[in-house]
Structure 1
Amino acid sequence: MPVNDPIVAEQDAAADFTIEQKWDLYSQEEHGIWRTLYDRQMKELVGQAAPEHFRGLELLNLNEGGIPDFRRVNEKLEALTGWTVVTVPGLIPEKEFYEHLANRRFVSGRFIRDAHKLDYLPEPDIFHDVFGHVPLLTQPVFADYMQAYGQGGLRSLEFDSIKNMARLYWYTVEFGLINTPEGRRIYGAGIVSSKTESRFSLSDDSPNRIHFDLQRVMRTDYRYDDFQQTYFVIDSYDELMDATSQDFAPIYERLPTLPEYTPSSIAPEDRVYHRGTQAYALSQADAQAS
């Protein structure tokens, strides 16, 4: 979800929390930061990102020379799948976030990280939101999944199940992996937009890699402050869509009666691709304790 924009006041937002992108106000330095991030990540993602991500970047011309102008992006994106990108100033309430997705509107922040913080960003910026998320919205099945997720999120408000829906978003939209004929690839935006985690998620011995299961994911806590300890893998975007195109009410009612999993857990029924050593997480815990 988007985060605080230091250059906009809350009263500038509309009732649905949208604001103008004001693309003309970006500086040459900010456009240069986008180009640096784009060029660097494109080199890093060769052989790592899902082919649909590269296809989406090409369809939307997100490398035209700087921070994308949403007016131009939306002309192409809406023609392809009916989605648009809207700008918001920061964290918005769950209801409005889900309503935007349910109506095929992807919310994005408009600020971009500082030049001296290319590799560390505590909050997602426009590069994460647009380079990471928007390309897959050109793909019809994934676009439908995102809308279904928004609809499921609205239903979750009736059952006090926001936490479970956040986990589903985290382990698919943000940090999901997919099996392809060429091997396992990244489709999650949190990995695609990160130079270091793109390597870690696919090849490091530390994390678990487990096949996606809807209820398993919704019962699994996650790391918001560091690399993930478990990544969930799908075989296709259709698998995501099929899992999500159901009435979530029975699931929401059942989840409180089931045990939850820690970020490093492996369950007996899991289809495990790789049982991680958890060496990275253990080393970080030791460093913090010392």
Structure 2
Amino acid sequence: MMEDTHVLDTPPAGANADWTIPQNWSQFTAEEHRVWDTLFERQAKLLPGRASNAYLRGLDVLKLSKPGIPDFEELSERLMKLTGWQVVAVPGLVPDEVFFDHMANRRFVAGNFIRRADQLDYLQEPDVFHDVFGHVPMLADPVFADYLAAYGRGGQRAQGLDALKYLGRLYWYTVEFGLIAEPEGMRIYGAGIVSSFAESRFALDDPSPNRIAFDLERVMRTEYRIDDFQQNYFVIPSLEDLLRVTVETDFAPLYRELATLPDVPVAEILPGDAIITNGTQAYALSKR
């Protein structure tokens, strides 16, 4: 789940032991499909020139035979052929051990509900639009697909090392809010940005946030907020570099080291940071 949000201790009624539920695509209403179509059209127009090449290539996977919210069976069939991943429906946020088990086995859990028409711009709990439009296109990329599976395996190990706080930050600043340096310029690949009409512009265009070259230890020390725009974004040089540092790092001694270091507050710059954009922090100051 990777958020400080309470979930049930046991699967809710109607869910399987692994918290999955039938998607029951035919039971979505015409209004729910219209909400998806509205969100999809708005973001699809905005993202060219902003989203990463990998994301835009993967977005074609969502162009399925049915209108509205994608049918997970059809979507999973396409993904399986590309990277071995599938999408499974869950009723909402799931416990960490369930989340990591699905991810380690290349099953991406997606909420089986969609926001209302009056919630287009923000919903705290991830819905099917965030989960599928935001995350699934990147799962069609073989390198990122391997990264997320490796992350799931790492999460299973981190549970026994009391290190989920640090690993959660890595997920936040890569999978959810990551930027990538591409030959054409800085681009978005994090699901929390590409699925947000406002933040997909803020993350690249606004002078307020810091944009910092990715460093594994630095990222895992950095606090974050789930209810506002980010004030530090971390920029990877490539998906290959992100995967490499994940699979080549021995995380156990890194977790021990992190436990001796202070957390880094949101928006703070450290002396050793490789700064790409030194933000004005105007947005953060305006919220005080």
Q: What TM bracket, shorter-length normalisation? A: over 0.9
Quote the offset at 1:63 in angstroms: 8.1
Please name the residue that 2:171 is paired with: 169
271, 278, 282: which one pairs with 1:279?
Answer: 282
May I ask how many residue pairs the two structures share in their alignment? Answer: 282
Quote the offset at 1:260 in angstroms: 1.6
Q: Find the aligned partners of 1:64 and 1:268 in 2 and give their Cα distance.
A: 52
Which secondary structure does the structure 1 equivalent of 2:287 belong to?
helix
Aligned counterparts, 1:24-173, within 5 A: 24-62=26-64, 64-173=66-175
> What CA deviation, in whole Å up to 9, does each residue of 1:2-29 have, x standing for no partner?
9899xxx812111111111111100111
Gaps of 5+ in 2: none
Contact (CA 8 Å) 2:169, 2:220: kept in 1 or not?
Answer: yes
240, 243, 250: which one pairs with 1:241?
Answer: 243
Quote the offset at 1:62 in angstroms: 4.9
Which secondary structure does the structure 1 equivalent of 2:180 belong to?
strand
Quote the offset at 1:151 in angstroms: 0.8
TM-score by length of 2: 0.94
187, 195, 198: which one pairs with 1:196?
Answer: 198
Which secondary structure does the structure 2 equivalent of 1:96 belong to?
helix
Contact (CA 8 Å) 1:211, 1:271: kept in 2 or not?
Answer: yes
TM-score by length of 1: 0.94
Quote the offset at 1:269 in angstroms: 1.1
Which secondary structure does the structure 2 equivalent of 1:127 belong to?
helix
Quote the offset at 1:37 in angstroms: 0.5
Q: Find the aligned partners of 2:254 and 2:6 in 1 and give their Cα distance.
A: 33
> What CA deviation, in whole Å up to 9, does each residue of 1:77-108 have, x standing for no partner?
01110000111112211111111111111110
- Whether 1:19 aligns to 2:2 is no
Contact (CA 8 Å) 1:60, 1:77: kept in 2 or not?
Answer: no
263, 266, 269: which one pairs with 1:260?
Answer: 263
RMSD value over aligned CA atoms? 1.7
Contact (CA 8 Å) 1:211, 1:270: kept in 2 or not?
Answer: yes
Please name the residue that 2:272 is paired with: 269
Gaps of 5+ in 1: 286-290
Which secondary structure does the structure 1 equivalent of 2:88 belong to?
strand
Letter in 2 for 1:45: L
